[in-house]
Amino acid sequence: MDLDALAAARAAEWQRLGELSARRRLTGAEADELVARYQSASADLAEIKSTAGRAPQGDVVSTLLAAARLRLTRASANPLRALPRFFALQLPAALYRVRWTTLVIAVLFVAVVAIVAAWVAGDPALVAALGDRAGLQYYVEEEFTSYYSENPAAVFAGTVWTNNAWIAAQCVLFGITGFWPVMVLVQNAVGVGTAAAVMFAFDRGDVFVLFILPHGLLELTCIFVAGAAGLHIFWAWIAPGPRTRLEALASAGRSLATVAIGLLLALLVSGIIEGFVTAQPWPWVVKIGIGALALGAFVFYMVFLGGRAARAGETGDLSESETGTPILVSG
C-alpha cells in the first residue's frame, strides 16, 4: 500500500473529521456525519496497521480518532471502574519494571549499612564522637525503644506514614535529577548504620534488630522501590531509545508515578506495623514474622502478579484511549 497516496486521497475526509471534533456544538446532521467519518477513519487506521504496521500516517489518524472519541462521549470513563485494572494490572506491572534495580539498591544499601556499622562500632573514638557516654547510654537504654511507644499508636503510625511517604515521593518526583534518589538512599543507609553501630557498641544489637525488622522489612523495601523508580525516570531522560526524550520521559513518568501511588498504600501498612506491632512486648518470632509476612505479600504482588501483567503486555503506563493521544513516531 502507498501510504502517501492513501493520505492524499483521504486528506479532506480526515480534515473534516478534525473540524467536526473541534466544534463545541453539533447539529443532528453533523453528529451523524461525525459518527460516519469516525467509522470511516477507523477503517482507514485498521487498513494502515494491517499492511504497514506502525506509521506516521496511522498516528495522524489515531490522533484524530482520539479527539473524535472524546467529542462523541464528552466524558471520560468512570474512574471507579478503572480501579480493578489499576490494581490487578497497571500497578503490579509498573512495580515489576523496577524489580532488578530495586534488588541492586537493596544489596548496596545493606552493604553500606554493614560497612558503616562495623566501621563506627569497631572504633571507640568514632563512637565517642557521636556524643558523651552518658548520652549514648541513655539513647541505647531508653530513647531508642521509647521512640516507638511515647505517642499513641494511631498518631505515631500516621506520623511515620506521612514522613516515609514524603521520602518515597521525593525519590520518584525528583528522580529526573539522578542524584536525589541516590542522596536519599545514602543518607538513610548511613543513618541506619550509625544507629546500629551505637546499639552494637553497647551490646544491644538484639534490641536494634527486634525494633527495626518488624516494620523495616517492608518500609525499607518501599524506599528501595521508590529510589529505583526515580532512577528509571532519570534513565528515560538520558537514554530515550527510538522515542524523543519528552515522549520517553512522559511515558516513564506516568507509569512510575503509578509506583508512587502503590507505595503510599504499602507504606501505610508498614506504618501500621510500626505503630501497633514494633513496640509490643511480643516474642521476636511473632513481631518479625508479621513484618516478613507483609514483605512477602508485597514481593509476591510485585514479582508474581507483576510478571503476569507484564507478560500480558502491561507496562504500567496509560493506554492510548486513556491518554487521549497516541505516541507518535518520526518518519
Residues 54 and 169 in one domain: no
Question: What are the tens digits of pLDDT across the range 131-154?
Answer: 999 999 999 999 999 999 999 999
- Residue 34 is assigned to a structural domain of this protein: yes
- Residue 68 is assigned to a structural domain of this protein: yes
Task: Mark which of 43, 75, 107 sits at the end of a domain.
Answer: 75
| CA atoms of 239 and 259, how far apart (whole Å) | 21
Dihedrals phi, psi of 55, to nearest 5 degrees = -150, 155
**Taking the alpha carbons of 213, 219, 222, 224 in that order, is the dihedral positive or negative?**
negative
pLDDT at 43: 86
> Is residue 66 predicted with pLDDT exceeding 90?
no
User: Which residue in this structure is represented by grid cell 480518532?
Assistant: 65
| CA atoms of 171 and 263, how far apart (whole Å) | 11
Residues 195 and 116 in one domain: yes
Which has more pLDDT, 75 or 5?
A: 5
- Residue 33 is assigned to a structural domain of this protein: yes
Residues 6+ apart with CB under 8 A from 174: 180, 181, 230
199 closest CA partner among 188, 212, 189: 212
Residues 56 and 176 in one domain: no
- Residue 236 is assigned to a structural domain of this protein: yes
**% of the chain with per-residue pLDDT over 90:** 60
Question: What are the tens digits of pLDDT across the range 11-27?
Answer: 888 888 888 888 878 78
Q: How far is CA 30 from CA 12, 25, 44, 67, 72, in A?
A: 16, 9, 20, 15, 11
Question: What are the tens digits of pLDDT across the range 180-201?
Answer: 999 999 999 999 999 999 999 9
Give the total residue count for the chain: 331
CB of 102 closer than 8 Å to CB of 224: yes
Residues 133 and 150 in one domain: yes
pLDDT at 117: 96
pLDDT at 220: 97
| CA atoms of 183 and 226, how far apart (whole Å) | 13
- Residue 126 is assigned to a structural domain of this protein: yes
Question: What are the tens digits of pLDDT across the range 86-119?
Answer: 899 999 999 999 999 999 999 999 999 999 999 9
State the total domains in the chain: 2
> Is residue 67 predicted with pLDDT exceeding 70?
yes
- Residue 99 is assigned to a structural domain of this protein: yes
Question: What are the tens digits of pLDDT across the range 202-256?
Answer: 999 999 999 999 999 999 999 999 999 999 999 988 888 877 778 788 878 877 8
Task: Mark which of 15, 42, 75 sits at the end of a domain.
Answer: 75
> Is residue 77 predicted with pLDDT exceeding 50?
no
Residues 99 and 70 in one domain: no
- DSSP 8-state symbol, 242: T
Question: What are the tens digits of pLDDT across the range 268-306?
Answer: 999 999 999 999 999 999 999 999 999 999 999 999 999
**Cα 85 to the chain's mean position, in Å?**
16
pTM for the model:
0.75
Residues 88 and 71 in one domain: no
Q: Which domain holds residue 103?
A: 83-320
Question: What are the tens digits of pLDDT across the range 111-137?
Answer: 999 999 999 999 999 999 999 999 999
Residues 211 and 62 in one domain: no
Task: Mark which of 75, 102, 126 sits at the end of a domain.
Answer: 75
- Residue 263 is assigned to a structural domain of this protein: yes
Residue 66 class from Cβ within 10 Å (0-12 exposed, 13-18 middle, 19+ buried)? middle
Residues 185 and 298 in one domain: yes
**CB environment 259-268: b (16+ within 10 A), e (fewer):** bbebbbebbb
CB of 153 closer than 8 Å to CB of 275: yes
Q: E-strand spans in the chain?
A: none
> Is residue 326 predicted with pLDDT exceeding 50?
no
Residues 136 and 174 in one domain: yes
pLDDT at 328: 43
Residues 10 and 152 in one domain: no
- Residue 330 is assigned to a structural domain of this protein: no
Residues 195 and 309 in one domain: yes
Indicate the average pLDDT of the chain.
88
pLDDT at 325: 45
Residues 53 and 149 in one domain: no
Per-residue confidence band for 69, with pLDDT thresholds at 50, 70 and 90: confident
